[in-house]
Structures are given as structure tokens and as C-alpha cells.
Amino acid sequence: MQYWEIKKKRGEQKKRNFRVYADVYSLFRSIRQAIEVSRLRRIPALEDLNAFSREVNMELDVASPKDVNDLQETQKSIQKILDELRFVQTIELREAREKTAQALRLRDCLNRLNISASCSRLVAVRNRLKERIENIIGWLQYYAKWGEAISIFLKFHEDFLPSFLKWLTQLVDCDVYGNAEKCKDELTVKHLEGMLQKIEHVDCFGGWKRWAHQCKKDIESAVGAVCSKKYDEAVEILKRVREAVKLKILQYQIHHFLLAVDFGQLREEFESDLYKGIINDIQLCLHDIDENGFRTPVKEKISILLSKAKALLMEEKPGAFIKEGKEALRLAYRTL
């Protein structure tokens, strides 16, 4: 994802850089989180600081002090603004911090008590804060466009996985009730090549390449088995593909779970019972997956990670879950 590096001074040419994510789901969560953090915290905090600066400015503007000691309360208010800006990095907020520090002295460049000069500097602080808010809103529009574009891809794959799973299930379960002849009719090269075409749609999709590559190899093996009239072998191969699709659906569920936890954290809402229910559902789905024939079994590792996150919820430790439980969920997600 493209971003602009923080400029060290005004007039400096912007430098473009990129953050690389493991897959498109991680990218989508990062974009959504950035949007929500800005909407719920960053922009409101800057707006509140701007409003407070305006109040301090008005208070200072009507003051008629004989000595700087008469303005100690006002200086404390200006110090609060300075404290809020102590860790800023962007050029607008660094300039706001510098102007606030100058206003705090209540003196001009000749070291004279000068309320008007401090008022002017507080106006400059408000202008820089407003500039920063406008810049955030500007790049949020780009994030919103990227998020909307990515959500279209995610919707396609969200719909693709269940439909693909249904198709596979119909094929491999044809002979469950003694319909062996029907199974042979359905297991045609044409059907399997149709599957390959569907897999090719996701082969270049971020985070899906290895999964799609292995599925393609298995389906090609199934095509070879059908051509050799080895229908039982083809069915076994397709059953393995079906279980791989179930695992990919599980990854999508964990992706949504991570989004829910992220948004709950931003809104300072911790829905312990809801989270426990989601983990229980994921564990049930995981239990039903058959890894027989998998080159790299993952069920045991995923189960341990889910149990770790669930244990933290059972202990009613929101802080520990947000720190350690989310990391366990991320690792489970990446393992899939």
C-alpha cells in the first residue's frame, strides 16, 4: 500500500513509499483500522485541541495583566496544549508545538510581556491544527477508495468459496447412497477443467497463491485419474480439495473476527460473550475438517491457538486478550 513519508520541513518534496502485507485481507484490515482510528480518535482529538486552543486564546485576549504572574492559570492551559503535542511527528503539528511553546512564554522576540504576540501565536496553532485535520481527511478519501475497491475482490472470494465447496461436495458425495454411475457421469474432465478455471481466478489473489497452486495440482491429478477411469482415486483427491476449501473459509471467518475485535477495541467495547461464541463456532468448523492426505496438517496448531485466545476470554482479562489473544488469532490466520 502506498504512503507518503513524513516531511522534515515545508517545501520538501514528498517521498513515496510502500507497506507490504502478507495478503489482501491483512491490507483490508489495515485500511479499515486506519480509517476508524482517524474517525473515532485522531480527528476528534485534534478538533477538541483546536476548540480548547480557541478558548485559551479568547481568555488571553481579554486579559489585562500587570505582571506575568497574573496569567499563571492561562499558562497552565497553554501547557496542556503543549503536552498534547509533545510526541507529534508531522510538520503541521511540529509547527503547532513550536508556536505553543512560544506562546507559553507570553513574551515577544524582545522579551517584553506581550499578550497580543501570544494570541497571534495561538491563532497560528489553531491554523496548523486545522491544516492537519484537513490533510487527514484528504488521505482518508484515498483510503476509502482503496478499501471499497478491495472489498469488491473480497466479496467475490467470499461468494466463491461457498459455491466452490458446494460444487465439490456434490461431486464427491454422488456415490454416498449407491449412485456410483451418477458419480462417473458427474466426474468428467469437462467438470474438472471448469474447476481449474475457477481456481485460476484466485491464483493471483494476494495470500491465495500457494493455496490455489496446490488445489490446481490436486485437480489436475483428479483429471488424470478420471482419464484412467480411476474414479475412486479422483473422489479421494477431490475430498482433499474440499477440506482445503473449508480451511480457507475458516481463514475468512478469523479475518472477520479480527476486524470485530479491532473495532471493539477502538470503540472501547469488549464483547466477551460474543467473542467466545465466535471462537466456539470456528473450533466446531475446525473439528469437522479431515486433514488426511494433507502435506502440511495445521489443525492441531490452529486448535492450540484458538484455545489460548478462548482461555484468556474465560479468565475475563480484556487487556491480555487484546495483546496475546489477538496475536494468537493472527498467527492462526497466517497459518491457514
Segment 119-148, tens digit of pLDDT: 999 999 999 999 999 999 988 998 999 889
- Cα-atom radius of gyration of the chain, to the nearest Å? 29
- Residue-wise pLDDT tens digits, 253-263: 999 999 999 98
In terms of Cα–Cα distance, which of 63, 68, 24, 334 is closest to 202?
Answer: 24
Average pLDDT, the chain: 86
The pLDDT, as a whole number, for residue 270 is 87
Q: Is the pLDDT of residue 226 over 50?
A: yes
Residue 255, CB-side half-sphere exposure with 13 Å CA sphere: 24
- Residue 18 parent element (H or E): strand 16-18
Contact, 238 vs 222, CB < 8 A? yes
Largest distance between two CA atoms of the chain: 103
Bridge partners, 16 (sequence order): 4
Distance CA 322, CA 331 (A): 14
DSSP-assigned letter for residue 5:
P
Q: Is the pLDDT of residue 182 over 80?
A: no
The pLDDT, as a whole number, for residue 155 is 83
Contact, 229 vs 241, CB < 8 A? no
- Residue-wise pLDDT tens digits, 92-101: 999 999 999 9
The pLDDT, as a whole number, for residue 49 is 96
Q: Is the pLDDT of residue 315 over 60?
A: yes
Mean pLDDT check: name the lowest of 41-55, 195-209, 298-312: 195-209
Q: What share of the chain is helix, strand, coil (3-state, %, to 5)?
A: 75, 0, 25
The pLDDT, as a whole number, for residue 204 is 63
In terms of Cα–Cα distance, which of 114, 110, 130, 23 is closest to 71?
Answer: 114
Q: How confident is the model at residue 185 (pLDDT cuts 50, 70, 90)?
A: low
Distance CA 165, CA 248 (A): 10
Q: Show the cell assigned to 110.
A: 524582545
Distance CA 227, CA 223 (A): 6
What is this structure's pTM? Answer: 0.79
Contact, 93 vs 85, CB < 8 A? yes
Q: Show the cell assigned to 82.
A: 503543549
The pLDDT, as a whole number, for residue 52 is 95
- Residue-wise pLDDT tens digits, 288-301: 999 988 888 999 99
Q: How confident is the model at residue 103 (pLDDT cuts 50, 70, 90)?
A: very high
